[in-house]
Structure 1
C-alpha cells in the first residue's frame, strides 16, 4: 500500500512540474513512392493543406554505386511550388547493401552530383534515405552527409532518414546511423518509427506507442534538439495468415505490408473483428476467409488470399492522432509519413488541427478545456474517438481504472480475478493491474462491473484511500447540504473538499451519487497534481 502511495506522490510531483504550454509540431512532410506524377498531384490535393514538403523518389543508387535519376517531372515540381510547398526528393539505395557501400566509396562525386541536381531542377533540397548497411559504414555515411551539406546551397534543405533505435543499438542497421554527427549536418533527422513488426516476424503492431516514443527518447537523450527531429508515421499495416488458435503463421503471408486504404476493404468484406489495443495504441483486425468467400487480392497485383485465418495490425485516424500527440509532447519539428497515397484520406480532415494541438471538437469553450488538454497530453485519459473527448459523458469504472494505471505508469499484469471482465474487454489488463496494486476493489463475488458509471462519492473515496495520510482532518462541519455524517463517503468527501481537491456546485451541493463526468475527472487529476506540488 505504501509503495503504491509513494508512486502516486512521486508521479504527481513530476507531472506537476511539466509546463502546460507546449511547443506544437508545425512541420509535416511525406514520401511519394507508389504511383506517378499524375497520381502524386491528386494525392497532394486531398491533404487539406496539411503538408509543407513532399519527397518523391527521383534519385536512386544503382548496383555500381552510381546515382541515377528517374521520372523527374518538372511540371509536377512547378505545381508543388505554385501551392507554396517545397519539394525535396529522396535518394535511395532501396536496401541494396552493395549499392550503398559503393556509393559511399565514391561519396565526394556523389555529393557533388546531388548538389548539381538540386540546382538543375530547382529542388528545395535533398533527403537522404540510405538503408540496409551496418556499423562498418557509420563514419563514411556521416561524412557523406557532411559533404552533401557543404555542396548544397545554404537555405536548401538537407535531411536524413534514420532507423528507429528505441534500444540504443550500435550494431547492424541501426548502427550505421550516428545520430549526433548526422544532426550536425542536416536540417532534421526523419525517425522511421515503424516496422517494429516486419515481414517474417510474429504478428504485432507496425509501430506501438512505446516503440515510437522510445525511438524519440533515444535522440533526445543524446542531446539532439527536438527541432531537428521529425517523427515518421506509417500509412500502412501488416497482415499475417495464422493458425486456428491465432498464433503460429502458416503461409507466405507473414507480415506483408498493406496500405491503409486497402485494409479497410478487406476488413469490411470479410466482416472482421476489429479491436483497438489501447496499451499498444494500434488497431488489430481478425477475419476468416472461407470456401464461399470471394478471394480478394492484397494488392492490385498478386495472388488472391487463401482460405484461413488472418490478422492485420494497422493504424487509423485515432492511432495516428496519438502519434501526432507524441510529436507535440516532445516539441518535435513535426511529422513525416510513408507514404502518401496509402492512407485513409479521412485523416486529412483533422491532421492539421491535431498538429496544432486542437485534439477535440467538443471541448472548445468548455469549463474544463485546459485541464482536458493537459491530462490528455500526459496520456492519463484518452478521447472517446478521434475528434471527441466527451467532457460531459459519465466516466465508467473501467475508464477510472485505466486512467489510474496510466497515471502511475504501472506494469501491466496478466491475471483474471474479476469474473465479469471478459478476456477481450478493452480494459481487462488495466483493471486487473489496478486491483493487483490495491488501487481498486470489486463489488463482491469477484465482480467489478467495468461498464457501470462511477459516482462522485465513489471516486472521492477511491482517491482518499491513498491520499489521506497527507491530509489533516478538517475541524469545521461539512458545508454540503446534501451530505450527512452518516453517509459512507462523508469523511472522504469532506476532507478532500476541505483541502481543495474536490469541489461542489454553486447551490452548496456535492451531489455524491451523481456520476462523475470525464471533464470533472480531468480537472480532478490536475488539482491533485497541483496540491502535491
Structure 2
C-alpha cells in the first residue's frame, strides 16, 4: 500500500477528533451535592446529555476522589441502552465510559446513565467531569469530536465530617483538590486505546492503525465492536486504487454528491458490488461478514489476482446459513486464511462485520 493510499484510508475511517466550533453539548448531573451518613458508603448520580445537533456517540471521563470507585453504569434511555458501549476503564484516577452507534442517530435530551459509586473516605471530597467527547460522523466518513462542554462538579459530604464548607474539604486529607480542566483536554496520547485491552482484535487493530487503514473513534477508544457500513468498506477499496473515475449512477439510494457516490459507482462498474436488490445499495447498512467476503473476492479479481484458495466449510456448524451467491467467496476467504471462525465453530455469515473484524480481514488481505 502506498503512502497516499494509506493517508486516504486513514482519512475515511479516522477518529482524529477536532474541537467543534458549534455550541457545546450540555452535560449535567441529578445533583451537585451528596450527603452520606457516617456509615454509608454508596451513592448514585444520573448523568444527562443535551445536544441540539445529530451525533453518533459520546465518551465521558469522571475524575474520582481518593477512596472513590465507580461500581456500576446503568444506561437509562432506551436508544442508549441499545447502542454499543465502551468498557469502564480507570486510568490515573479518571474513569472512562461511553456509548456509540454507526450513524448520527442521537439528537436532543437524554438521561444517559445512572452511575453508582462507593466512597469510603471520612472527609468531604469533590467528584467532577474531567473530560467529555461528543462524536459526530461527517459526510465524508471522518469524525469530529466536541470536547468543549463545561465540566460539572459534585461535592461529597459526610454528615459527621469536620471538613467544613470548603469546596474540597477542610485539611485536604483524602480528597482530591479541585483542578482547572483545560477545554479539549486529551487524557491519553493518540493511539492509546483503552477499549482494546483484553480484546481479541487488539493486535490486528493496532496493525491496521500502523498501516493507515484505521484510527481511533476518540483519543482513548478504537470502538472495535462498532459495525462497519457498506459504504465505508467500498470507499476504502476505491481510495486504495487511487479513486479512479466513477461511472454513471448505479443505485437509486446513492445520493448525488454524497461522500461515497464515486466509490459506489466505481465498484458497481467494476463488478465489485452488485447491490442488495431493487436497485438499492444500502450504503448505511452494516456490512455482513459474507458481504465483506464477496466484495474482497471480487476486488481481488478486479486487481488481477485470480482467487485460488478454496476452504472446507464442513467444520462450521452454521455453513447452511451462507447465501448461495456468497458460498464461493466464503470458501476462498476461509481457504486463504482471511476469514476465520468464531466461538462454537461458527462463521456467522449473516452477522455484522465490526471494525475489529474488518481491520483483521483487511490486514490479512493486504499483508498477503
TM-score category of the 2 structures, normalised to the smaller one: 0.3 to 0.5
Q: Which one has the bigger strand percentage?
A: 2
With the length of structure 1 as denominator, give the TM-score of the two structures: 0.34
Q: Which one has the bigger helix percentage?
A: 1
With the length of structure 2 as denominator, give the TM-score of the two structures: 0.48
Q: Which has the higher contact order (CA 8 A, sep 6+)?
A: 2
Bigger Rg, which one: 1
